[in-house]
């Protein structure tokens, strides 16, 4: 517990301190957000806001996750290390997309859909295979509200690769309002960190327990970095995380869920990510099928709420409260008595 708290506090403090310097550096490099042409009118004023703040979040989260980790497990066999490698690969993909948008000064000037999808699928399959063949994880997944487990066998790899792909895109879609993805993710990582500690407390001392404690430390460090980042991202935002940050956050989220063998908990903890993914998918499918008609005024759903007259801050507050409620359900669904 102490490692978890110290990692969160240290990550928060450092992010808070270096935030203004990072903002000035991004402005000097002219790394400004490119606003999508069909975005709500109020978003036009955000054009040029420093972006790629996800680099700061990732660097600090990983730094303090490993400074405060238990060193009884060699780092090469450390599950959080694998999660971080997986997350950094996705971060690199998001960074490439952000870099091209900034360079071309166009929101849709980043990677093409295929240039994003192919690497995402390859990385997702590789990580799913790692989990399937890891002696600490395997192909068994827990079932909520019961002590039973389900063995997916070889089907684990394609199923979990699909889950990874969905979560990465869901996190990306949710990053559309000041403070939205950061606030929701802060709640999620706090909840998952506590769940990792609960699991660790249920087993005896050993490698498995150490892996869970280190996972909790990674969640805490990420939550701490997000707390510091939100100081500069809440409305009106002084800095945005970009696809660089959303891809990193989505990868850590799904990576932690898979390695703790609770992937079924992901759509509950990430319910607002799911709403963003489903609303965007429904909008696109319906738009193409009806040759231009829409289900929502805009998508993802938080943009629909904006165009209905709801303020950004109210939407963020509502999304965070719903996330808190569903994370509480995640605790109730654990296959142990707390």
Average pLDDT over residues 268-289: 96
Assess if residue 75 is contained within a domain. Answer: yes
Residue 3 has phi, psi (to 5 degrees) of -60, -40
Assess if residue 337 is contained within a domain. Answer: no
Assess if residue 268 is contained within a domain. Answer: yes
- Domain of 273, in residue numbers: 2-332
pLDDT surpassing 70 at residue 37: no
CA distance 213 to 219: 10
129-183 pLDDT, tens digit per residue, is 999 999 889 999 999 999 899 999 999 999 999 999 999 999 999 998 999 999 9
Average pLDDT over residues 319-325: 98
Assess if residue 338 is contained within a domain. Answer: no
Largest CA distance in the chain: 60
283-318 pLDDT, tens digit per residue, is 999 999 999 999 999 999 999 999 999 999 999 999
Average pLDDT over residues 326-336: 93
Assess if residue 42 is contained within a domain. Answer: yes
Return the bridge partners of 149, or none: 142
Percent of the chain with pLDDT over 90: 81
Report the number of distinct structural domains present in the chain: 1
194-242 pLDDT, tens digit per residue, is 999 999 988 755 568 899 999 999 999 999 999 999 999 999 999 999 9
58-85 pLDDT, tens digit per residue, is 999 999 999 999 878 788 889 999 999 9
CA distance 55 to 95: 9
Assess if residue 196 is contained within a domain. Answer: yes
14 in Cβ contact with 228 (< 8 Å):
yes
Percent of the chain with pLDDT over 70: 94
CA distance 123 to 330: 27
The mean predicted confidence, pLDDT, of the chain is: 92
Q: How crowded is residue 253: how many other Cβ atoms within 10 Å of its Cβ?
A: 26
Least confident of 34-38, 236-240, 255-259: 34-38
Assess if residue 94 is contained within a domain. Answer: yes
Assess if residue 90 is contained within a domain. Answer: yes
**pLDDT score, position 35:** 66
């Amino acid at each position: 517990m102490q490692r978890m708290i110290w990692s969160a506090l240290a990550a928060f403090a450092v992010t808070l301190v270096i935030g203004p310097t990072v903002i000035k550096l991004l402005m000097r490099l002219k790394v400004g957000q490119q606003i999508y042409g069909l975005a709500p009118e109020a978003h036009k004023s955000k054009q040029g806001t420093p972006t790629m703040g996800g680099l700061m979040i990732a660097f600090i989260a990983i730094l303090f996750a490993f400074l405060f980790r238990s060193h009884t497990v060699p780092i090469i066999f450390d599950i959080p290390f694998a999660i971080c490698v997986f997350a950094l690969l996705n971060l690199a993909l998001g960074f490439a997309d952000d870099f091209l948008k900034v360079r071309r000064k166009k929101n849709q000037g980043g990677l093409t859909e295929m240039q994003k999808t192919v690497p995402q699928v390859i990385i997702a399959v590789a990580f799913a295979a790692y989990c399937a063949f890891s002696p600490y994880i395997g192909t068994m997944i827990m079932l909520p509200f019961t002590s039973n487990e389900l063995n997916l066998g070889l089907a684990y790899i394609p199923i979990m690769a699909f889950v990874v792909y969905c979560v990465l895109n869901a996190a990306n879609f949710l990053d559309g309002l000041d403070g939205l993805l950061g606030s929701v993710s802060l709640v999620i990582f706090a909840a998952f960190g506590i769940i990792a500690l609960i699991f660790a407390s249920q087993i005896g001392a050993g490698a498995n327990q150490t892996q869970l404690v280190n996972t909790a430390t990674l969640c805490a460090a990420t939550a701490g970095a997000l707390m510091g980042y939100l100081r500069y991202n809440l409305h009106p935002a002084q800095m945005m995380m970009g696809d660089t940050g959303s891809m990193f956050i989505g990868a850590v989220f799904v990576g932690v869920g898979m390695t703790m063998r609770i992937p079924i908990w992901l759509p509950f903890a990430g319910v607002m990510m799911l709403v963003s993914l489903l609303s965007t998918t429904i909008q696109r499918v319906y738009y193409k099928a009806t040759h231009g008609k829409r289900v929502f005024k805009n998508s993802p759903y938080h943009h629909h709420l904006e165009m209905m007259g709801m303020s950004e801050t109210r939407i963020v507050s509502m999304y965070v409260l719903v996330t808190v409620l569903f994370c509480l359900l995640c605790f109730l669904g654990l296959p142990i008595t707390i």
